[in-house]
Amino acid sequence: MLKAQKQKPAVAVVKYNAGNIRSVLFALERLNVEACVTDDPDILRNADRIIFPGVGEARSAMEYLKQKKLDVLIKSLTQPVLGICLGMQLLCAHSEENDAVCLGIFDGNVKLFDTQAGAKVPQIGWNDIYDLKTPVFKGIDEHSFVYFVHSYYAELSEQTIATANYIKPYSAALHKGNFYGMQFHPEKSGGVGEILLRNFIFGQE
């Protein structure tokens, strides 16, 4: 168990009708971090850190974000933002999942794994990540294993800060400005995921 921090950043988890939020909250509890789940614009703007998680379908998720005007809000955020799984994919430009136009913060597109390649789709389980970049991966060894559940992947780009290989190499994590994305689930990735969340929330000491 990590030691409690004297200063606890205010962490807000974006509420947008996506699944898997509870496991993120449990992971934050293990870090002794309190978080609120909200779609309130004022709370989101004033939080120190934003987590944008989710499991679901890209097009319907984007429609919900637009209905709540969260699409405009998320793009305007200036504090560190972490998209997880579907949350990361929605930060990209476009998803092949029902031809969804996404938020366009990351330049790359999201594509369906080639189901003819002989591997099972979705990818479910542990896979290693490599070519790790940026301080969010401080304390994480190359080829550490993290937990994935996904049928769609973000293409490699200049914004790729971690790579995984399943059927083909793809972006396991992305970074641009104050926005980070992780295709895998740090909240389900044991000690490695705990370090990653701690790095994102508290920064490097």
pLDDT more than 90, % of the chain: 85
Beta carbons within 10 angstroms of residue 13's beta carbon: 25
Residue 19 has pLDDT above 80, yes or no: no
Place of tokens 């769609």: 152
The model's pTM: 0.93
pLDDT: which is higher, 145 or 3: 145
Q: Mean pLDDT for the chain? A: 92
Instruction: Show which residues are catalytic.
Output: 85, 185, 187
| CATH among 3.40.50.880, 3.20.19.10, 3.40.50.300, 3.40.190.150 for 11-202 | 3.40.50.880
Q: E strands, the chain, where?
A: 11-14, 35-38, 49-52, 81-84, 94-95, 100-101, 109-112, 123-129, 144-150, 152-154, 160-166, 168-176, 179-182
Give the pLDDT band (50/70/90) at residue 3. very low
Residue 89, pLDDT > 80, answer yes
Buried b (16+ CB within 10 A) or exposed e, 17-47: ebebbeebbebbeebebebebebeeeebeeb
Over residues 179-203, mean pLDDT: 96
pLDDT one-digit tens code per residue, 97-135: 999 999 999 998 999 999 887 789 999 999 999 999 999
pLDDT > 80? residue 175: yes
What residue spans define the domains of the chain? 11-202
**8 pLDDT exceeds 80?**
no
